[in-house]
Amino acid sequence: MAEIHRFIRVDFSRFKAFDKFTLNLRHFNILVGPNNAGKSTILAAFRILASAIRKANRTSPTSIRGPDGRMPGYEVDLAKISVAEENIFFNYDDSMPATVKFRLSNKNELSLYFPERGLCYLFPNSEKTPILSPSSFRSEFNCPIGFVPILGPVEHNERLYEKAAARLALFNYDAARNFRNIWFHYPERFDAFRSVLTQTWPGMDIQRPEVDMSHEKARLHMFCPEERIPREIFWAGFGFQVWCQMLTHIIQQDESAIFLIDEPDIYLHSDFNASWSEFYEIWDLTSL
């Protein structure tokens, strides 16, 4: 398996809540602060970078005018990312560019450059290898970003979608609408998911998705076995639904250079810390 390059530092310049700000990252990091402190700004930067990395992993760079002249880079479509474009620039002042620079453990650097409203470019900088193809990018920037978006209750009647929709659900805020689709199209780690779930939520279990063809458009169901009658996950409490999704994202994206959880305690009671502690012991988050 190729070495994963960890994020160790992020420098913000005129990006959203930050005029100038540097974030140094360790193996485990917790962002705590009042409203408007910049927590969402950090998550937004990584969300944009994750989309840019996915593009760079499959396409070759083109010559783009950057802050230091023309250089190989990638245009990033901000419209496809769950990020507000209206406030990309600090204090809404777009008279000067905004930049976010990500430093990796192998000393390479990824820069997001926002020259004007609506435009975003990714520039990779490797100390060893020119980045001219997807293969060279993947070699020098093996730094996949994992996300758990803000979660909510699962969809009541979830339709069976194409595999591509399930894949996108791992990266956007529509994840709760596609929870069953993720496990239907990507079942390889379901046994690991079920094992961790039963250990962290005593008394509960879950089965693989089942297709229901009795409707005009096919639906998916996931049942939780009980002594009386198996109940669909939608009938379970919201906390259990959110915990199932939390584990799904973590386990499906466990080969990440950095893994970000947005609002990890939503729908979960304060006394749920015991389950988090058990989860850390079962699934070593610090290795991500």
CB-based contacts of 286, cutoff 8 Å, min separation 6:
27, 28
Output the pLDDT for position 27.
85
Q: Is residue 269 part of a domain?
A: yes
Same-domain pairing of 79 and 176:
no
How is the chain split among helix, strand and coil, in percent rounded to 5? 30, 25, 45
Lowest average pLDDT, out of 21-30, 69-78, 100-109, 145-154, goes to 145-154
Residues 206-210, mean pLDDT to the nearest whole number? 96
Instruction: Kindly report, residue by residue over 142-152, the tens digit of the pLDDT.
Output: 999 988 877 88
Same-domain pairing of 84 and 160:
no
Count structural domains, the chain.
2
Report the percentage of the chain scoring pLDDT > 70. 88
Which of 212, 214, 206, 159 lies closest to 187 in space, CA to CA?
206
Q: Is residue 74 part of a domain?
A: yes
How far is residue 40's CA from residue 264's CA, in Å, rounded to a whole number? 13
Same-domain pairing of 139 and 158:
no
Same-domain pairing of 184 and 267:
yes
Same-domain pairing of 200 and 72:
no
End-to-end CA distance of the chain: 14
Which of 47, 51, 45 lies closest to 22 in space, CA to CA?
45
Same-domain pairing of 122 and 230:
no
Q: Is residue 164 part of a domain?
A: yes
How far is residue 84's CA from residue 38's CA, in Å, rounded to a whole number? 14
Same-domain pairing of 199 and 84:
no
Comparing 220 with 165, the larger pLDDT belongs to: 220
Residues 30-52, mean pLDDT to the nearest whole number? 88
pLDDT tier for residue 136 given thresholds of 50, 70 and 90: very high
Q: Is residue 2 part of a domain?
A: no
Output the pLDDT for position 282.
46
Q: Is residue 260 part of a domain?
A: yes
Comparing 93 with 229, the larger pLDDT belongs to: 93
User: CB–CB of 53/144 below 8 Å?
Assistant: yes
Same-domain pairing of 90 and 216:
no
Q: Which of 121, 143, 165 is the last residue of a domain?
A: 143
Q: What is the CA radius of gyration of the chain?
A: 20
Output the pLDDT for position 272.
52
Mean per-residue pLDDT over the chain, rounded: 87
What is the DSSP code (8-state) at residue 207? -
Same-domain pairing of 49 and 170:
no
Same-domain pairing of 138 and 183:
no
Same-domain pairing of 42 and 169:
no
pLDDT at residue 226 tops 80: no
Quickly count helices (H) and strands (E) in the chain: 7, 14
Phi, psi of 59 (to 5 degrees): -135, 155
Lowest average pLDDT, out of 49-63, 203-217, 274-288, goes to 274-288
Same-domain pairing of 89 and 21:
yes
**In sequence order, what E strands does 192-244 have?**
210-212, 219-221, 223-224, 231-232
Comparing 129 with 62, the larger pLDDT belongs to: 62
Q: Is residue 236 part of a domain?
A: yes
Q: Are strands 145-148 and 258-261 parallel, antiparallel or unpaired?
A: parallel
How far is residue 162's CA from residue 115's CA, in Å, rounded to a whole number? 36
Q: Is residue 268 part of a domain?
A: yes
Comparing 28 with 133, the larger pLDDT belongs to: 133
Highest mean pLDDT among 9-18, 19-28, 246-255: 9-18
Q: Can you state the angle between helices 238-252 and 190-200, rounded to 10 degrees?
A: 140
pLDDT at residue 266 tops 70: no
Cα torsion 23, 25, 28, 30 to 10°: value is: 0
pLDDT tier for residue 54 given thresholds of 50, 70 and 90: very high
Instruction: Kindly report, residue by residue over 166-191, the tens digit of the pLDDT.
Output: 877 776 666 667 899 999 999 999 99
Q: Is residue 76 part of a domain?
A: yes
Output the pLDDT for position 2.
73
Q: Which domain holds residue 244?
A: 148-287
pLDDT tier for residue 286 given thresholds of 50, 70 and 90: very low
Give the other-Cβ count within 10 Å of 238's Cβ: 14
Q: Which of 143, 169, 201 is the last residue of a domain?
A: 143
CATH number for the domain including 99? 3.40.50
